[in-house]
Structure 1
């Protein structure tokens, strides 16, 4: 119903709790489905629906390592990657480091949008600080890969667990938090991926010395009185100016 009303191009879902028994019931007409179910036990899982009008392919970022609950999909025309990720609250440090390496590889894309439930409830995004070791390591990964976090309001019971990260300022806009979907206790996050990210203009000015009037410069410099050095000899002008 939400898809029909809003016409989303991308739909990311965390904690799907799917397994093989759902294979015939989770498809949606007009969308290509990418999914990764939790293996070995119940719970978790992520899914990403992509409008079938968009050319897309799943990326294999470090998938030869221990699997993480993350999907990395590149869509043609956006020259970048849209991703969905779920970080379990009890995730081991080793698995977290695999995820951070995947984020590092994905951040090399021209355009990266990473969304998901990261379960870092103790991060203060205003001050960029955290009270837990794992959360501080997550902040280091974000800083090392120059990612921006755009969610500003809590998404679950006063905690900001669901995040949207991007590597381009102005790429993500119109961020809105909606009602919960079904029996989920997380609020839905809706946003737009803009076609042209806002560029940050540098105020640094670079001088082109090849266009300088060297003759005028030598004339002006020649009018400056020169002091004697300690040996009593006339101080010399730079070789490049006096020939």
Structure 2
């Protein structure tokens, strides 16, 4: 599992918290700032957004980010190193009091990228806001949800946005069932499963999927949820909505545990072997030096080693879900 960088709990803006009833929020897979920034800037300024979440910025550590600042907004970003693509960012209106809580390290290791911030209202109400990008070859965002699980009980409001590359409108996607179950365990909900990505092939056929997700604790707090009438950038829709800040006490969150006493070698090992076989066949990988033609030349060496490790980790977790699923602990009966 990759490590994450935790920041000191110190406000990034000097703004005093304001009393806000609603926040206007936008989110988009921008697919390279250098190609689409002017379009994004125009959209943000004309739409008077409070928060805009962007993924696939393609920013690198050596890039000068000053050209991508927008007047009136703080720009928080987490770039990627070692492989082109990825990167997540947040534009937050300057008058909002914000703190950067946690973000993934910038070295890409075939795991999802994310950053999480806290926004504080004048009445001490706090909002936890997360931006996530999971590339198609990355493993399931298990680490992100573990971090979210620890943080969310401390907040009145929770919003997660980003491109998960999980086709939630297609039940056959290998990660959909697991995602839905995990959201249930966290008392979180998908706002929409309407397609947000529209790919047109040369023969005129259209492939549509819901990849760009908005996840909240209470969907009744979402107002005016909409998508751009046509793809905004790289076949992705621009999503915007208004979020009504909750003044109610956050509901209790049930903590789930895994009973490892149920794990037995004779049942667990075959499941792990099966999951590894599925994952490696999907990615065209092999743990051993074999006939490269048989695996399309994708023998696990150097660059593919991280992908193999991610696949092994996902296999172990998938097997654990089958043998010892997460469940709510039951109070011991008194005798």
**TM-score between both structures, scaled by the size of structure 1:** 0.71
Match of 1:2 in 2: 43
1:102 aligns with 2:147: yes
Tell me: higher relative CO, structure 1 or 2? Use CA pairs within 8 A at least 6 residues apart: 2
Match of 2:236 in 1: 186
CA distance in 2, matches of 1:120, 1:81: 22
Query: Which structure 2 residues correspond to residues 150-161 of structure 1 after superposition, within 5 A?
Result: 150-157=191-198, 158-161=208-211
CA distance in 1, matches of 2:152, 2:186: 6
Query: Which structure 2 residues correspond to residues 21-170 of structure 1 after superposition, within 5 A?
Result: 21-60=63-102, 68-77=112-121, 78-93=125-140, 96-108=141-153, 109-121=155-167, 123-124=168-169, 130-157=171-198, 158-170=208-220
SS at match of 2:63: helix
1:60, distance to aligned residue in structure 2 (A) = 2.2
SS at match of 1:131: coil
CA distance in 1, matches of 2:243, 2:101: 20
CA distance in 2, matches of 1:170, 1:51: 24
SS at match of 2:130: strand
Q: 1:26–1:61: structure 2 CA closer, same or farther, 3 Å change rule? A: closer
CA offsets 1:14-37 (integer angstroms, 9 cap, x no match): 111111324221111111111111
Tell me, which stretches of 5 or more residues in structure 2 are unaligned?
1-41, 199-207, 250-335
Match of 1:196 in 2: 246
SS at match of 1:41: coil
Runs of at least 4 residues off by over 4 Å: none
1:79, distance to aligned residue in structure 2 (A) = 1.1
CA distance in 1, matches of 2:152, 2:222: 15
Match of 2:305 in 1: none
1:13 aligns with 2:58: no
- Please say if residues 162 and 214 of structure 2, whose CA atoms lie closer than 8 Å, have aligned partners that are also in contact: yes
- Please say if residues 47 and 84 of structure 1, whose CA atoms lie closer than 8 Å, have aligned partners that are also in contact: yes
- Please say if residues 112 and 135 of structure 2, whose CA atoms lie closer than 8 Å, have aligned partners that are also in contact: no
CA offsets 1:66-113 (integer angstroms, 9 cap, x no match): 8741110111115121221111111124xx221221232243222001
1:169, distance to aligned residue in structure 2 (A) = 3.5
- Please say if residues 114 and 165 of structure 1, whose CA atoms lie closer than 8 Å, have aligned partners that are also in contact: yes
1:184, distance to aligned residue in structure 2 (A) = 2.1
SS at match of 1:8: coil
CA distance in 1, matches of 2:175, 2:147: 17
CA offsets 1:3-57 (integer angstroms, 9 cap, x no match): 2211100011111111132422111111111111122110011110100000001
CA distance in 2, matches of 1:29, 1:180: 25
1:136, distance to aligned residue in structure 2 (A) = 2.3
Q: 1:198–1:170: structure 2 CA closer, same or farther, 3 Å change rule? A: farther
Q: 1:105–1:62: structure 2 CA closer, same or farther, 3 Å change rule? A: farther
